[in-house]
Amino acid sequence: MTEGHWWRGAVLYQIYPRSFMDSNGDGIGDLKGVTSKLDHVKSLGVDGIWLSPFFKSPMRDFGYDISDYRAVDPLFGSLADFEALLKAAHDRGLKVIIDQVWSHTSSDHEWFQQSRQDRTNDKADWYVWADPKPDGSPPNNWQAWFGGPAWTWDPRRRQYYLHNFLPTQPDLNFRSADLRAAILDVARFWLALGVDGFRLDVANYYVHDAALRDNPPSGDPAPALPRNMQVHAFNSNQPETLDFIAKVRERVDGFGDNMTVGELAPGSYALMAEYTQGQQRLHTAYSFDFLGAWPGVEKMGDIISQWREGPNDGWPSWAFSNHDVTRVTTRWGEAIGCPPPRAAPLFMALLLSLRGTIFLYQGEELGLPEGDVPFEKLQDPWGIAGWPATKGRDGCRTPMPWKDEILAGFTKAKEPWLPIDPRQRMSAVDKQEKLSESMLHTTRALIELRKQNPALASGSFRVVHASDDLLVFDREHDGDRIQCVFNFGRTEMSRPYEVKPQVLWTSDPVFSGATLMLPPFSAAILKLS
């Protein structure tokens, strides 16, 4: 879109295939289902889709544990179904980026099955193996994301293997030249099919510290999990990761104007900048800054102000919701006391006003609240293990409500893989299509506004005010200056102007003369020059 690259300033729509649309009546979404709903995606005005994993997998982590990088899991269809989806998307002018989960595989992957047999086979060093300490304990203190040590004993090799996530997700060893070549060949396979780029899962976890040094303590006074009790200094963010990223960038750029977006977990501005600066690193990246708790206006202003704007500086991406976190209308809305009907347009206006590439999660255009999934219906192993302290990730993965009916137009099965929340059905696509001021139409209007105004899509960014629940920032391009104003508080606010600006979009603020009056939880996008 800008500077010759379609992805700069673009809006991409994340599709979680299991929950998007079921075409064959088995209660689980699939690739043909995605294809059947691309007209809805196109109608939003987005530039493309990010498709979460659809590869062959035992589904212990619902597709993020891949057993064959080049095969489509029969649950989702076939490779021919993916190629049909790709063509249908391209025919509609939609780009397609796909998840690539390269930090780890499933323990069912043939690579791991061979690697674990002994210490001398051809793939013996394709995973991270280490001897125990003299007392038999794991090689170091590294903790896994889902709780407990990041090491599991394998009796065949009589060694421990590393897994930063589930024990059934062994980490690949990117210190192996043969492994690196195999992964780059996977990238070539999908690029040759015509995909427009990759979303790289936990891209900062590719390389581990060769000396396996202990991670230092974090000093977190109230850690939710053992992983929070340490700084992940040695099982992530190793400098050699950037050497491999450069090879990925070379491979992706070799197939045209494609993109790589890295998930950097948990990430920070400094890490995002490091992984995106220059022409040999990721095209863009996102962290968890806005995928956690409500940050407050001051911190939010600080986060979005940090990105530099030079020609070799990195390009940010932003998301407020995805398949791993509580939906933003609930997560942030409840934190500030804002009900979903007001929270949804407020947060959407903010997201679509930011400088960077924007990712919307399926259902976000409807303003969906977090789904309620009772314990007996949970599927997520994290939620099952952590109940009731955490409900896991199932609440954000409930099926997309296409129609206001019992099965939400998602499936013809007797029961979907996750239950339909009646509150989400009330916000179904068919209902919102008929309401001129629905959240669906609001989303379309905001995306169109972004596309029609280069200042919003790619202009410079400057925070004007960020305190006392009021956030104001300017976007400017070629003399066009747009000011975005957000009241995240429970009381009315006012903002005077010398001359009444042109109103490009507003949730419900009004002007009294040249003074902008902002009711609680409202926003306005104004053209100043």
Positions annotated as catalytic residues are 201, 263
Burial of 458 (0-12, 13-18, 19+ CB in 10 A): buried
DSSP H or E run through 487: strand 480-487
Return d(Cα 225, Cα 183) in angstroms, integer: 31
Looking at the DSSP bridge assignments, the partners of residue 516 are 495, 511
Count Cα atoms within 13 angstroms, Cβ side, for 270: 1
* CA distance between the termini of the chain: 23
Signed CA dihedral, 172, 191, 318, 66: sign only: negative
Other C-beta atoms within 10 Å of 156: how many?
10
Cβ neighbours of residue 401 closer than 8 Å, sequence gap 6 or more: 363, 366, 368, 408, 409, 410, 420, 424, 425, 427, 428, 429
Interhelix angle 240-253/269-276, nearest 10 degrees: 50
Contact (Cβ atoms closer than 8 angstroms) between residue 364 and residue 326 = no
Residue 462's Cα: distance from chain center in Å?
25
Phi-psi region of 356 (alpha: psi -120 to 50; beta: other; left: phi over 0): left
Pairing type for strands 11-15 and 357-361 reads parallel
Return d(Cα 77, Cα 399) in angstroms, integer: 18
Residue entry with tokens 């889902």: 146
Tell me 382's DSSP state: H
Closest by Cα among 426, 421, 430, 303 to 354 = 303
3-class SS of residue 166 = coil
Instruction: Using alpha carbons, list the distances in angstroms from residue 491 to 293, 452, 468, 495.
Output: 22, 32, 11, 13
Question: Vertex 426, ends 420 and 428: CA angle to 5°?
Answer: 80
As a three-state string, the secondary structure of 263-293 is ECCCCCHHHHHHHHCCCCCCCEEECCCCCCC
